[in-house]
């Protein structure tokens, strides 16, 4: 099926809660929605959510790639040749992985619709649902505890707790939240690069007495200081996850091969889409490393794509696909079903999305 039209639409999404991590906070999220139309009239939807802090990609870079390069690469090409189209997109768009991810997602949505299959069935699923965490931002302690309780009341079983002040303050935060929600709720800690190795190890050692239900500590140290991350990994009793240290395929190879972290957080917006994420998952699997599929603040369009990807690899142990929940003016509905903290795909062609632009 030939691609006849490539369109993109920038949107500013309003967040219901302040999104705050160790390095900054925001009330909005800039995304670009991608629309591909095929010669049979079918439409594939994608979405781009660049994170300049993590990949260096500005929203203007994303837009430029979508308007200047993408039509030239995709127009009059066969969507069934997705593999080669994706290679070409990534070759030209190495510095705009979110733009490539949005296009890759739209190609998969279109391919699913042409094949009359949900994408997770097209790829071959390993499971039919996955538990997701929901994020408690680095806001003041009372607000964080209230938010944690509110999320548990809504049925979430796993909380991503943003930390990264001082390890002593973070300790108080974790203990307060753990006490408020109870031991059956899984806590996933994310320091967003804020620590030196000694801080991370001091925090984890102090937490041992309390025995909170901690699944892992994510990115304690600076992204490019991978041997600091390895130092924490080597001495930690809690699994350590790399996030900002693992952007694309080569990072997955190096971090897995050199045992820099116990776990990898793979995000479509960092690596360029589902095709690349599946390759990274295969590398991790070869090294015995489990992964999480994570996200940015992004439309349910790309969250659905993250879910379908997470359902299709045995190397995925965790999902953190909550980016759409906090958006008050998303352009799409459907795509995922949230029930008791688990995400289920919609059994419709492609990603099962309805988009209102």
Minimal distance, residue 291 CB to Mg ion, in Å: 13
One DSSP character per residue, 121-153 reads HHH--S-S-EEB-EEE-S--HHHHHHHHHHHHH
Residue span binding Mg ion (CB under 5 A) among the ranges 64-72, 98-106, 136-144, 188-196:
188-196
Residue span binding Mg ion (CB under 5 A) among the ranges 30-38, 41-49, 199-207, 236-244:
236-244
Task: Label the pairing between strands 342-345 and 336-339.
Answer: antiparallel
Residue span binding Mg ion (CB under 5 A) among the ranges 24-32, 80-88, 121-129, 242-250:
242-250
| Cα R_g (the chain), whole angstroms | 19
Backbone φ/ψ region at 341: left (φ over 0), alpha (ψ -120 to 50), beta: left
Q: How many residues bind Mg ion (CB under 5 A)?
A: 3
In this chain, which residue has its C-beta nearest to Mg ion? 243
Residue span binding Mg ion (CB under 5 A) among the ranges 38-46, 150-158, 243-251, 338-346:
243-251
CB-wise, 243 or 322, nearer to Mg ion?
243
> H or E segment at 29?
strand 24-38
CB-wise, 66 or 264, nearer to Mg ion?
264
- Torsion angle of C-alpha atoms 303, 305, 310, 315, degrees rounded to 10: -120
Minimal distance, residue 318 CB to Mg ion, in Å: 12
- Taking alpha carbons only, the member of 354, 318, 316 closest to residue 336 is 354
Q: How many CB atoms are located within 10 Å of the residue 128 CB?
A: 11
Minimal distance, residue 243 CB to Mg ion, in Å: 4
CB-wise, 99 or 292, nearer to Mg ion?
292
- Residues numbered 125-154 forming contacts with Mg ion, rule: CB under 5 A: none
Minimal distance, residue 171 CB to Mg ion, in Å: 19
CB-wise, 88 or 196, nearer to Mg ion?
196
Minimal distance, residue 21 CB to Mg ion, in Å: 8
Minimal distance, residue 192 CB to Mg ion, in Å: 6
Cα distances from 139 to residues 18, 24, 26, 218, in angstroms, run 8, 11, 12, 18
Identify the DSSP state of 2: B
CB-wise, 161 or 332, nearer to Mg ion?
161
Minimal distance, residue 355 CB to Mg ion, in Å: 28
CB 249 within 8 A of CB 271: yes
CB-wise, 159 or 332, nearer to Mg ion?
159
Minimal distance, residue 65 CB to Mg ion, in Å: 24
CB-wise, 61 or 243, nearer to Mg ion?
243
CB-wise, 109 or 190, nearer to Mg ion?
190
Out of 199, 243, 297, 330, the residue judged to bind Mg ion by CB under 5 A: 243
Residue span binding Mg ion (CB under 5 A) among the ranges 66-74, 88-96, 212-220, 338-346:
212-220
Question: Residues with Cβ < 8 Å from 354, sequence gap 6 or more?
Answer: 332, 333, 334
Q: Look up tokens 């001082």; give the residue.
A: 166
Minimal distance, residue 76 CB to Mg ion, in Å: 39
- Residues numbered 267-326 forming contacts with Mg ion, rule: CB under 5 A: none
Minimal distance, residue 54 CB to Mg ion, in Å: 9
Q: How many angstroms separate the CA atoms of 348 and 330, rounded? A: 20
Out of 57, 61, 190, 326, the residue judged to bind Mg ion by CB under 5 A: 190
> H or E segment at 303?
helix 300-310
CB-wise, 218 or 326, nearer to Mg ion?
218
Task: Label the pairing between strands 134-136 and 158-162.
Answer: parallel
Q: Which two tokens stand for residue 213?
A: 């239900």
CB-wise, 67 or 165, nearer to Mg ion?
165
Question: Residues with Cβ < 8 Å from 103, sequence gap 6 or more?
Answer: 34, 36, 46, 66, 70, 74, 89, 273
Q: Which residues bind Mg ion (CB under 5 A)?
A: 190, 218, 243
């Amino acid at each position: 099926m030939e691609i006849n039209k490539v369109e993109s639409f920038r949107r500013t999404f309003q967040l219901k809660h302040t999104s705050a991590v160790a390095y900054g906070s925001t009330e909005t999220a800039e995304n670009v929605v991608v629309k591909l139309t095929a010669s049979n009239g079918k439409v594939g939807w994608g979405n781009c959510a660049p994170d300049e802090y993590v990949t260096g990609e500005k929203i203007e870079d994303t837009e430029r790639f979508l308007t200047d390069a993408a039509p030239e690469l995709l127009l009059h090409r066969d969507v069934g040749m997705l593999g080669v189209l994706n290679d070409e997109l990534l070759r030209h768009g190495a510095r705009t992985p979110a733009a490539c991810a949005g296009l890759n997602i739209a190609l998969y949505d279109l391919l699913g619709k042409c094949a009359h299959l949900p994408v997770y069935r097209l790829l071959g699923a390993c499971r039919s649902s996955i538990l997701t965490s929901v994020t408690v931002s680095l806001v003041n302690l009372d607000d964080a505890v209230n938010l944690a309780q509110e999320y548990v009341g809504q049925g979430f079983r796993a909380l991503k707790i943003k930390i990264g002040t001082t390890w002593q303050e973070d300790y108080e935060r974790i203990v307060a939240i753990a006490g408020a929600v109870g031991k059956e709720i899984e806590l996933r800690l994310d320091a967003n690069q804020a620590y030196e190795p000694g801080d991370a190890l001091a925090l984890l050692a102090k937490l041992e007495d309390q025995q909170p239900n901690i699944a892992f500590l994510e990115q304690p140290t600076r992204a490019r200081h991978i041997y600091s991350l390895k130092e924490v990994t080597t001495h930690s009793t809690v699994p350590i996850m790399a996030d900002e240290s693992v952007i694309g395929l080569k990072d997955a190879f190096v971090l897995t091969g050199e045992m820099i972290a116990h776990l990898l957080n793979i995000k479509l917006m960092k690596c360029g889409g589902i095709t690349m994420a599946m390759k990274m998952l295969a590398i991790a699997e070869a090294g015995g490393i489990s992964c999480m599929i994570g996200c940015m603040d992004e439309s349910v369009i790309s969250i659905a794509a993250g879910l379908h990807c997470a359902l299709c690899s045995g190397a995925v142990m965790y999902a953190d696909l909550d980016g759409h929940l906090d958006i008050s003016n998303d352009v799409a509905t459907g795509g995922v079903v949230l029930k008791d903290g688990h995400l289920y795909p919609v059994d419709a062609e492609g990603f099962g999305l309805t988009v209102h632009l």
